[in-house]
Chain A
């Protein structure tokens, strides 16, 4: 490989100069030749960082489900800061003071949030002389003097253009700095779980990352295959969680859950913008800019190509349909074509109106080929159909009651309370998404070649039975150096459990029609289809 422009002539000169220099500069004991042709670093060129990591702003996952133990409420969980290594001291993991964390709810289907919950955090040190210390001894309560770094937040609800601060200056749970320094994290979490005026509760703080997946499944997109699976890529890591549980009627259009049971949910992160040129009117660009957004899981892996991730992150769902390449890819995704190339599983015919239903409109008989009335905004009787637009949101029909024995494959297994009808913590969204992208939601037949999915079927730790449901943060490092292989062994043994009765799940799809739900029959039926 030829890097420099220097030809043979200049190379000779260079060699000579190096020989000459060898005597003086290397003898002088300093690396003069760190600078060679083609490189320099200088005070005159301001080389600011270019790809700034922004983990505090990065949404990792959003969940929305009817609370299993409190079925008149919906719980929404959104996570930030991916891949938190336990014991990530000395600074650990704080929410950003310069960010607005939002969970948004659209009950009319126009892609615009009708109910927005906004968390804003403020950090402080109890003992500002000790700013490098997170805690100075074991922390047994949120008021413990040993807890040096603290975050409090305000929670604002915006409806109909009006904002109300419903919590002010309340504490977030700290990062769990270890078993010795935070022996009873449950107690800290309980203190940070706060009731809301008008009903409901919220929690902000650290949690085990509830997402479980072997992301190598998507190696297909990058020229790989499915030969390496079965290891939970996220196992052992923590995230920062914001959870909220609210009465369903606070989310439903017109407060009427029986007429309008469907909501679309997504989370966003915003940071204030900048007016760069002072010749323009000042303040014009200082509005808040959306830097991250998430609704359905794996949207970049399954439908929106990575190339459009930047665009997608800046858009409001109401604008999704204006970016044609993104919409096009929902109707014509690349993943099934790759699966066809590698595994010979025929890619479903395009346009993929079934995927458009799952990701853009919600599922209803009138919406597309999936013969069920499940979670489209069109099912809301008071929603104006003319204002409903295709928009990527995680849609939940709140009228579907929680399932006593939830199935990890959710709707595909006949369990209508799971993804893509909302998303529960234990829903196996990788396997569901892989099947959906192969057309299983439309055909009612699971693709046997992909029945194993990622071979990770459950989270590495169980979830809680009560709010906020997420598991307590891990305390052991994931990347433990020499111990890492040992850990993988542990993991693979845990994850090689049988994949579950996939075949019967497929059959259950046909039988799902038997499930009758409140207002209307929500049914999935195999669609008559040639070939």
Chain B
């Protein structure tokens, strides 16, 4: 009998050499310097390596002296692949954990680590590797490459029709591709297989997209009850706050955001949710503080835009301009790659830059992502560029599902007004203003427009 206790399994040869386990990235909710540090590190990496081919930094976690990592944590997963480099499922789980982490921080270095781990998993086991396929799909979706996400999701659901997670990736990809019926079918399959926090959240979103906020709220409450991690709870609270706002319930939104922040005080999405609730309640000062805190944790475009426009509304042009400068810089970096612009960038360009350029950005985005949010941004860019007939067509599409979105309604109202449709404009304004303070600049504009229509009509 042969005893084989010493031989270390050979490193997988294809694609990637397995990464040394990455340093555990900063935990959620680490204080302000995180964003800046990430930026600096990223800057250095970009200069050194070019693009985003980041090599994870040297490992320190898995040594024998290191304290035992909590089961299921990133540290534990890193230790596992160090011990079992031929464990395809272990690499896939590590990759997925990075994707989930990157989702909340939008740190491209985390996504690079995710991709490295997932590609290693696929190199170890090419065929029948559903976990890695799910991870690749989730990674593509996190990077907003939805056609690629859809390809991986179809592969994963074919390989394991019983995987609720695979159907979740599929649902997300269909939704962003504007294939809502197929998305609903995928969510139905996902919840039939496993009604848990993740699938209930997606079921809630299906209701929300149709404008059924009551149904969406019920399901998101159930998702919150099923949530097991602070991240899942924070997500559910954020959505519940947003649903309350859609119903014009600023107090309810504030309460949800507060409850969430008690458990996750530096969650940027919850800080933004509280900022929006406070805007709705007519408290711009505290709203500003929340936006600032959120943007300091993660300077994401929609946070910078919210902060900048609130500054502008409050008559702080310099502070507003500082945020806009950052947004322009972010978009310049984006434009050097192949990723289409997101809706925040398009709306920003339409309102604070060149509407013609915004139209081009939107057309490009729509090619791979015919989702209602992109159609709305396209409509607004067209309107700002004076192309209102085309704009109305897009605005109608953005609202075709019945989604209760104050901003979409305001956008369509302005388009109707420009086209000389006061009655339709009035209806859309009424719908938008059900959520008072829906936007620091557009909400006052909506009220002014409504008054003008009422006095002239």
Is A528 an interface residue, CB under 8 A from the partner? no
**Chain B positions near chain A (C-beta within 8 angstroms):** 1-7, 9, 15-16, 35-40, 42-43, 46-47, 50-55, 64-65, 67-72, 83-87, 89-90, 96, 99-100, 102-103, 105-108, 111-112, 115-116, 119, 124, 128, 130, 134, 138, 141-145, 160, 162-165, 168-169, 172, 175-176, 184-185, 187-188, 191-203, 205-207, 210, 212, 215, 219, 222, 225-229, 231-232, 235, 239, 262, 272, 295-296, 298-302, 304, 322, 325-326, 329-330, 332-334, 336-339, 342-344, 371, 373-374, 377
Question: How far is B205's CA from A204's CA once the two chains are assembled, in angstroms?
Answer: 35
The residues of B that contact A478 with a CB separation of less than 8 Å are 68
Query: Apart from A225-B5, A276-B191, what are 13 other A-B pairs with CB-CB below 8 Å?
Result: A33-B333, A35-B334, A39-B108, A43-B343, A44-B343, A52-B196, A52-B199, A52-B227, A98-B222, A223-B84, A289-B191, A289-B194, A310-B193
CB distance from B246 to the nearest CB of A (A): 13
Which of A15, A39, A51, A345 is close to B47, meaning CB atoms less than 8 Å apart? Answer: A15
Knowing A51-B100, A52-B226, A276-B203 touch, does A6 contact B196 (C-beta < 8 A)? no
B336 touches A10 (CB 8 A): yes
The residues of B that contact A404 with a CB separation of less than 8 Å are none
3 nearest A-B residue pairs (beta carbon):
A37-B337, A223-B86, A31-B39
Residue-by-residue, is A398-411 near B (CB-CB < 8 Å gives 1, otherwise 0)?
Answer: 00000000000000
- Interface centre among A26, A32, A83, A289, by most B CB within 10 Å? A32
Nearest residue (CB) in A for B269 is: A43
B89 touches A39 (CB 8 A): no
B52 touches A36 (CB 8 A): yes
Knowing A1-B15, A33-B43 touch, does A38 contact B111 (C-beta < 8 A)? yes
* Number of inter-chain CB pairs below 8 Å: 356
Which residues A1-31 have CB closer than 8 A to chain B? 1-6, 8, 10-11, 13-15, 17-18, 21-22, 24-26, 28-31
CB distance from A369 to the nearest CB of B (A): 25
Which of A6, A96, A311, A480 is close to B51, meaning CB atoms less than 8 Å apart? Answer: A6
Nearest residue (CB) in B for A22 is: B43
Chain B binder among A54-62, A152-160, A183-191:
A54-62
CB distance from A453 to the nearest CB of B (A): 16
Looking at chain B's contact residues, the main secondary structure is helix
CB distance from A67 to the nearest CB of B (A): 32
The residues of A that contact B47 with a CB separation of less than 8 Å are 15, 18
B143 touches A39 (CB 8 A): yes
The residues of B that contact A291 with a CB separation of less than 8 Å are 194-196
Question: How far is B163's CA from A313's CA once the two chains are assembled, in angstroms?
Answer: 11
Residue-by-residue, is A58-70 near B (CB-CB < 8 Å gives 1, otherwise 0)?
Answer: 0000000000000
Which of A10, A28, A40 is close to B144, meaning CB atoms less than 8 Å apart? Answer: A40
The residues of A that contact B72 with a CB separation of less than 8 Å are 53, 83
> How many residues on the A side are at the interface (Cβ–Cβ under 8 A)?
94
B191 touches A344 (CB 8 A): no
B229 touches A53 (CB 8 A): yes
Question: How far is B184's CA from A285's CA once the two chains are assembled, in angstroms?
Answer: 13
Looking at chain A's contact residues, the main secondary structure is loop
B338 touches A6 (CB 8 A): yes
CB distance from B316 to the nearest CB of A (A): 15
Knowing A30-B36, A274-B200 touch, does A50 contact B195 (C-beta < 8 A)? no
Question: How far is B332's CA from A37's CA once the two chains are assembled, in angstroms?
Answer: 10
CB distance from B445 to the nearest CB of A (A): 20
Knowing A44-B342, A222-B86, A310-B163 touch, does A273 contact B68 (C-beta < 8 A)? no
A32 touches B329 (CB 8 A): yes
Is A306 an interface residue, CB under 8 A from the partner? yes
The residues of B that contact A97 with a CB separation of less than 8 Å are 225
Nearest residue (CB) in A for B81 is: A222
Question: How far is B326's CA from A21's CA once the two chains are assembled, in angstroms?
Answer: 9
- Interface centre among A36, A38, A45, A83, by most B CB within 10 Å? A36
B228 touches A55 (CB 8 A): yes
Nearest residue (CB) in B for A343 is: B1
Is A226 an interface residue, CB under 8 A from the partner? yes
The residues of A that contact B333 with a CB separation of less than 8 Å are 14, 17-18, 21, 32-33, 35-37
Nearest residue (CB) in A for B87 is: A222
B83 touches A277 (CB 8 A): no
27 contacts between A and B (CB under 8 A): A3-B115, A6-B52, A14-B46, A17-B333, A25-B325, A32-B333, A33-B330, A34-B35, A36-B42, A36-B108, A39-B108, A41-B106, A47-B172, A48-B172, A48-B205, A49-B197, A51-B165, A51-B198, A98-B225, A222-B86, A227-B6, A277-B188, A314-B162, A314-B194, A449-B1, A478-B68, A485-B65
CB distance from B154 to the nearest CB of A (A): 16
Knowing A30-B35, A32-B326 touch, does A223 contact B87 (C-beta < 8 A)? yes
Is A501 an interface residue, CB under 8 A from the partner? no
B344 touches A44 (CB 8 A): yes
Question: How far is B212's CA from A38's CA once the two chains are assembled, in angstroms?
Answer: 33
A223 touches B196 (CB 8 A): no
The residues of B that contact A50 with a CB separation of less than 8 Å are 96, 99-100, 134, 138, 165, 168-169, 198
Question: How far is B124's CA from A484's CA once the two chains are assembled, in angstroms?
Answer: 32
A310 touches B162 (CB 8 A): yes
Question: How far is B172's CA from A443's CA once the two chains are assembled, in angstroms?
Answer: 52
Is A127 an interface residue, CB under 8 A from the partner? no
Which residues A228-284 have CB closer than 8 A to chain B? 228, 271-278
- Interface centre among B96, B184, B272, by most A CB within 10 Å? B184
- Interface centre among A223, A227, A273, by most B CB within 10 Å? A223
A15 touches B50 (CB 8 A): yes
- Interface centre among A10, A44, A83, A277, by most B CB within 10 Å? A44
Question: How far is B194's CA from A52's CA once the two chains are assembled, in angstroms?
Answer: 10
Which of B119, B165, B339 is close to A37, meaning CB atoms less than 8 Å apart? Answer: B339
B53 touches A31 (CB 8 A): no
Which residues A374-427 have CB closer than 8 A to chain B? none
- Interface centre among A31, A47, A219, by most B CB within 10 Å? A31
Knowing A6-B338, A31-B299, A132-B262 touch, does A278 contact B215 (C-beta < 8 A)? yes
A479 touches B67 (CB 8 A): yes
A223 touches B85 (CB 8 A): yes
Is A503 an interface residue, CB under 8 A from the partner? no
Which of B130, B162, B300 is close to A42, meaning CB atoms less than 8 Å apart? Answer: B300
Which residues A130-184 have CB closer than 8 A to chain B? 132
The residues of B that contact A45 with a CB separation of less than 8 Å are 141, 144, 176, 342, 373
Question: How far is B52's CA from A275's CA once the two chains are assembled, in angstroms?
Answer: 42
- Interface centre among B50, B111, B145, by most A CB within 10 Å? B50
Nearest residue (CB) in A for B161 is: A311
Question: How far is B200's CA from A98's CA once the two chains are assembled, in angstroms?
Answer: 12
B206 touches A41 (CB 8 A): no
Question: How far is B67's CA from A482's CA once the two chains are assembled, in angstroms?
Answer: 6
A36 touches B198 (CB 8 A): no
Nearest residue (CB) in A for B37 is: A31
Nearest residue (CB) in B for A313 is: B194
The residues of A that contact B106 with a CB separation of less than 8 Å are 34-35, 39-41
Question: How far is B377's CA from A2's CA once the two chains are assembled, in angstroms?
Answer: 32
The residues of B that contact A24 with a CB separation of less than 8 Å are 325, 329
The residues of A that contact B38 with a CB separation of less than 8 Å are 31, 34
- Interface centre among B16, B72, B138, B199, by most A CB within 10 Å? B199
Nearest residue (CB) in B for A46 is: B205
Question: How far is B29's CA from A133's CA once the two chains are assembled, in angstroms?
Answer: 22
The residues of A that contact B301 with a CB separation of less than 8 Å are 35, 40, 42
Is A197 an interface residue, CB under 8 A from the partner? no
Nearest residue (CB) in B for A56 is: B228
B332 touches A17 (CB 8 A): yes
B193 touches A37 (CB 8 A): no
Nearest residue (CB) in B for A58 is: B228
Is A199 an interface residue, CB under 8 A from the partner? no
The residues of A that contact B304 with a CB separation of less than 8 Å are 30
Question: How far is B185's CA from A224's CA once the two chains are assembled, in angstroms?
Answer: 40
Nearest residue (CB) in A for B197 is: A52
